[in-house]
Amino acid sequence: MDLKSNHTAPVLADPAPISKSRLVASSLFPYSSPAPVFSPNLLLTVPRKKTGILDDVRASSWLDAMKSSSPRQTSTRDYNHEIVSTDTDVAYRTWMVKYPSALSSFEQITNFAKGKRIALFLDYDGTLSPIVDNPDFAFMSIDMRAAVAKVAKYFPTAIISGRSRDKVYGFVGLTDLYYAGSHGMDIMGPVRESSDDPPNCIRSTDKQGKGVKLFQPASEFLPMIDEVFNSLVNSTKEIKGAKVENNKFCVSVHYRNVDEKNWKTVAQCVHDVIRNYPRLRLSHGRKVLEVRPVINWDKGKALTFLLESLGLSNHDDVLPIYVGDDRTDEDAFKVLREGNLGYGILVSSAPKESNAFFSLRDPQEVMEFLKSLVNWKKTSVL
């Protein structure tokens, strides 16, 4: 996976302006760039001077957002053709006109990738592993691990997850990858002698003795995150189904197994804890509330950092592909779309607005896509 480059720009340098003709051929995308109708990183705005029950407007808005993440399906019948379908299926097929399948569009993707170096970036939960009731058991399948291992032999590959870096490495267990945990706030990447290291970056060695660069832009928040984690464990211990997870630079409060009537109580507990920490903010993922430092860093910036560390930024012959399923992945999709750099692929079985170009339905389709990339690479070098 070592890539040689003479590129000497600083690690965190802004990319040079890129011509729109670099990526998007007129025939490649039969639709216009979507303007997202939601904030990619939906924040729960909590009043810091009030106590007691959350105000009805904000609480109602939050609960509506949660209910919309699990839409109820209603069946309809076409009596002329004896076909039973669901409203959700119809909506999904319509949505795919705007976000076509990366599998059915694979030839388009690889035609554009000819003569380019693909760099692959993957989320973990919901992308490489299914979403499960207990986040401690979000194991990837043996077949998925084999697919990721094979694709990493042909393309530089990184996992960018909301989990702690150590935890996601424990799930994946592959050494030929780069890992970024805590939504990109804990990155272990390659060392390039020609680049300057930014603040909060140290050089070390991995378990194989290979030189690596460890970048942790939120390191000063570690004691605060530990305090909040302990407080949230204590305040939610009486809520059946609630689980608090320490992801090193962020704290995740999972309510997937909490009765819907108690969701408001979960939000209240989180609010009561973080109201005393103005340097922390609350964001909302797939049935999880996440407490994160207030810093200008996200998965999009982690993607940019890794491209620079790999010596792949500001090169016309590089095609980054990012595959993810969560709101936090939208920051990376946005970097690729607005910079006209590469392709974002949203993993979703339900329609939703996105900055991605393509879609995949579930981890099974992600695995098929990874295998297709390997097969394409093998045949293209023959």
| Pairwise CA distance, residues 157 & 119, whole Å | 6
Residues 6+ apart with CB under 8 A from 10: 195, 196, 198
Strand 178-181 to 157-160 pairing: parallel
What are the angstrom distances between the C-alpha of 252 and each of 158, 166, 170, 210, 274? 22, 15, 18, 31, 13
CB 284 within 8 A of CB 61: no
From first CA to last CA, the distance across the chain in angstroms is 20
- For tokens 């023959």, name the residue: 382
Q: Collapsing DSSP states into helix, strand and coil, what is residue 1?
A: coil
**In the chain, alpha helices (H):** 56-68, 87-98, 106-113, 142-154, 165-172, 222-235, 263-274, 299-309, 330-338, 363-380
Q: Which amino acid is at 107?
A: E
- The pTM assigned to this predicted structure is 0.79
Give pLDDT, residue 224: 97
Give pLDDT, residue 68: 54
**Mean of pLDDT over the chain:** 82
CB 58 within 8 A of CB 44: yes
Reported as a single tens digit per residue, the pLDDT across 315-362 is 999 999 999 999 999 999 999 999 999 999 999 999 999 999 999 999
Minimal CA–CA distance to 102: which of 322, 316, 292?
Answer: 322
Query: For the chain, what is the radius of gyration of the CA atoms?
Result: 21
pLDDT at 226 over 60: yes
pLDDT at 376 over 90: yes
- The 3-state secondary structure of 88-155, one letter per residue: HHHHHHHHHHHCCECCCCHHHHHHHHCCCEEEEEECCECCCECCCCCHHHCCCCHHHHHHHHHHHHHC
Give pLDDT, residue 8: 32
CB 186 within 8 A of CB 201: no
Assigned CATH class of 221-293: alpha beta
Q: Domain segments of the chain: what residues?
A: 89-186+297-380, 221-293
Topology, domain 89-186+297-380: Rossmann fold (3.40.50)
| Pairwise CA distance, residues 133 & 136, whole Å | 9
pLDDT at 44 over 60: no
Reported as a single tens digit per residue, the pLDDT across 276-316 is 999 999 988 889 999 999 999 999 999 999 999 999 998 99
The count of other CB atoms within 10 Å of the CB of residue 124 is 24
Q: Compute the C-alpha angle 105/109/114, nearest 5°.
A: 145
| Pairwise CA distance, residues 89 & 91, whole Å | 5
What are the angstrom distances between the C-alpha of 36 and each of 290, 352, 356, 364, 375? 22, 9, 10, 26, 34
Give pLDDT, residue 71: 45
Residues pairing with 281 in the sheet: 292
pLDDT at 52 over 60: no
